Amino acid sequence: MSLAPNWSLLRPAIWWKSVSRGTVQADLIAGLTNASIVLPQAVAFATIAGLPPIYGLYTAMITPIVAALWGSSMVMVSGPTTAISAVVFSTLAGLSVPGSVEFIQLALLLTLMVGVIQFLLGFAGLGRLVAFVSHSVMLGFTAAAAVLIGASQIAPAMGVAIERGGSVIERLYRTVEAAEHVNMIAVAIAATAFFVTILSRRVAPRSPTFLIGLTAAALLAWYLDAEKMGVAMVGELPSIIPVFSPPAASAATIGIVTEGAFAIALIGLLEAVSIGRAFAYRTNTRFDANREIVGQGLSNIVGSMFQAYPGSGSFTRSGINYESGAKTPMSAIFAAIFLFIILLLFAPLVAHIPIPGLAGLILLVAWKLISFKEIWEIARTSGTELSIIAATLLAGVMVELDFAIYVGVILSLMIFLSKTSRPNLVISAPDENGTFRDPTLYSLRECPQALFIRIDGPLYFGSVEAIERGFRKVERSRPLQKHMVLVLKGVGDLDLAGAHALIDEAKRRKKLGGSLYIVTRYAPLIKRLTRLHVIEEIGEDHVVASKGDAIKAVTEQLADDVCATCDARIFRECAGRPNALVPQMEVAE
């Protein structure tokens, strides 16, 4: 993985060469479909983030254009997302009052920091780092985000006002306390948005189901004159035109949002890269993770200058974009333009969207976020992966949502290190066909003076202790087998600690009157053995390319008095030893 900056990533992508009259027509249709879907989503996601609805719309207008121009995916659409919105709220709710001017300024600064982090990661070629966050971590994180989102929307769906912020348990407790003030009209509106959206998905899955559900809720609110009955509305939007307004920053404010910025940057990259790779496979197009990361970073940097909060690739809108026949990133640009036009024409109607209707949509989003089927499959097949999901989920629910991603990553790495720190040491001997197998399992005879061990797993600082314990155990159980042949075909690489372990074992075998031979033909590993002075210490003739070469070398060093009384004779080379019998087999490499 190279850390050298890639200057070509600063230039816009060259997908424009694929644009033609036919692609423009397809992209216009896909863009119009996406604009109708993103309007209610942007309003809802901004609500999740604790921001006024207009900031979700700014994000849906600015972010996708920049991401399309500099990104790598042909059909991915960027903008506000559920998970990032939840983390924005979780990060800032304890620092300022949601919806306040200070809260908004912190959110915009957070967007800038997220963009800078993402840009630097992509520019330095670190796109592969996202692979360290496992799918199980994301399952646990999204489940935690879903619980947090759901808990935050129960009160608005009931038409009651409670203090925002705090843990999930605290929010639920406040909601229960306020239950006596429930507004049944608000509940009816929320239920309408929830169930009409579900119904429209089943009847017409390609239709703008969110818009249909929200329209039904708004019509019910209008029919019941809900605003006079105490049901809150979105209210009049300020200017729908994003204006250039760089976020205010100071050392103090940067410090308090840094941790959340790293978490959001990582989550955004995971979303964007996973979506990009999935659709690159479907569209049979090339995908450059580092270019996409740079594109996402620039989209957030530019977005922060025009009042957008952090955004990333959207699973829902990208899928709809693909299904609608999008051919190039122009579809995402068209979607942003159409959204702006729709707002110019129908902005007054947005003011009459009922808050409980949004809450109903958001509760549906939260429910859909939890991958119950996948979690159940993992629970049936892997207790380890289930523990990662559970730990990430509990950290997000009980502590902080941005902290959950770190818990999941650290636990994944700990489990990975635990597994790699215990490589298998497999003792083997040739069978009648010359194939090396487990002598205990297959009742095979071994050479009384030479031992063959295959190491399956990495040879590095984390596994050295376990390997040395294995060597000592073998030494105690087989004291006469003083010559050791290590087959390193299962070792892809080794570090300095692993090199020292090999050198120490060679010296120990020599003191015992034996020798150590290494079998490998993997050129990169041989290069590492040379650079770390292993070959220099144990001797160039003690590193061979095959088990056959190792047998030839080691049989020349066997003690004649032992060979004279040995009736195993398992190697062809045994024919040259004292009192030799007819050799039984040749070694199969």
In the structure encoding, which two tokens stand for residue 27, read together?
A: 């992209």
Work out the average pLDDT over 239-247.
86
pLDDT, greater one: 55 or 581 = 55
Please indicate, yes or no, if residue 75 is contained in any of the structural domains. Answer: yes
Is the pLDDT score of 365 beyond 80? no
Q: Do 129 and 229 fall within a single domain?
A: yes
Residue 111 is predicted with a pLDDT of 96
Report the distance separating Cα 16 and Cα 534, nearest Å.
Answer: 53
Residue 468 is predicted with a pLDDT of 93
Q: Do 310 and 200 fall within a single domain?
A: yes
Please indicate, yes or no, if residue 583 is contained in any of the structural domains. Answer: no
Q: Do 79 and 175 fall within a single domain?
A: yes
pLDDT, greater one: 282 or 160 = 160
Please indicate, yes or no, if residue 158 is contained in any of the structural domains. Answer: yes
Residue 207 is predicted with a pLDDT of 75
Please indicate, yes or no, if residue 193 is contained in any of the structural domains. Answer: yes
Report the distance separating Cα 387 and Cα 402, nearest Å.
Answer: 19
Residue 94 is predicted with a pLDDT of 81
SS3 per-residue string spanning 163-220: CCCCCHHHHHHHHHHCHHHCCHHHHHHHHHHHHHHHHHHHHCCCCCHHHHHHHHHHHH
Residue 6 is predicted with a pLDDT of 62
Residue 4 is predicted with a pLDDT of 54
Please indicate, yes or no, if residue 320 is contained in any of the structural domains. Answer: yes
Band the pLDDT of 287: cuts 50, 70, 90: confident
Is the pLDDT score of 564 beyond 80? yes
Q: Do 352 and 460 fall within a single domain?
A: no
Work out the average pLDDT over 173-178.
86
Residue 362 is predicted with a pLDDT of 78
pLDDT, greater one: 507 or 272 = 507
Please indicate, yes or no, if residue 136 is contained in any of the structural domains. Answer: yes
CATH of the domain at 504: 3.30.750.24
Q: Do 438 and 399 fall within a single domain?
A: no
Q: Which residue, among 102, 99, 90, 214, has the nearest Cα to 144 in the 3D structure? A: 90
Q: Do 390 and 475 fall within a single domain?
A: no
pLDDT, greater one: 1 or 311 = 311
Work out the average pLDDT over 19-36.
86
Q: Do 388 and 434 fall within a single domain?
A: no
Residue 451 is predicted with a pLDDT of 93
Residue 345 is predicted with a pLDDT of 85
Q: Do 201 and 68 fall within a single domain?
A: yes
Q: With a threshold of 0.85, does the pTM exceed it?
A: no
Is the pLDDT score of 383 beyond 80? yes
The label of the residue with tokens 């376990």 reads: 466
Calculate the average pLDDT of the chain: 85
Range of the domain at 528: 424-576
Q: Do 120 and 203 fall within a single domain?
A: yes
Q: Do 354 and 446 fall within a single domain?
A: no
Is the pLDDT score of 463 beyond 50? yes
pLDDT, greater one: 332 or 315 = 332
Q: Do 394 and 451 fall within a single domain?
A: no
The Cβ-side half-sphere exposure at 271, using a 13 Å CA radius, reads: 29
Strands 436-437 and 424-430: antiparallel
Q: Which of 365, 396, 415 is the last residue of a domain?
A: 415
Residue 583 is predicted with a pLDDT of 47
Residue 582 is predicted with a pLDDT of 45
Is the pLDDT score of 588 beyond 60? no
Work out the average pLDDT over 166-171.
74
Band the pLDDT of 1: cuts 50, 70, 90: very low
Residue 162 is predicted with a pLDDT of 79
Band the pLDDT of 167: cuts 50, 70, 90: low
Work out the average pLDDT over 249-264.
86
Please indicate, yes or no, if residue 538 is contained in any of the structural domains. Answer: yes
Q: Do 59 and 204 fall within a single domain?
A: yes
Q: Which of 415, 443, 475 is the last residue of a domain?
A: 415
Query: Which residues contact residue 188 at a Cβ distance below 8 angstroms, ignoring those fewer than 6 apart?
Result: 220, 224
Band the pLDDT of 106: cuts 50, 70, 90: very high
Is the pLDDT score of 344 beyond 60? yes
Is the pLDDT score of 546 beyond 70? yes
Q: Which of 357, 386, 415 is the last residue of a domain?
A: 415
Is the pLDDT score of 470 beyond 90? yes
Strand order in the sheet with 450-456: 436-437, 424-430, 450-456, 483-490, 516-519, 543-544
Band the pLDDT of 452: cuts 50, 70, 90: very high
How many domains are there within the chain?
Answer: 2
Please indicate, yes or no, if residue 584 is contained in any of the structural domains. Answer: no
3-state secondary structure of 386: helix
Residue 482 is predicted with a pLDDT of 93
**% of the chain surpassing 70 pLDDT:** 93
**% of the chain surpassing 90 pLDDT:** 33
Chain mean position to CA 279 = 16
Is the pLDDT score of 14 beyond 80? no
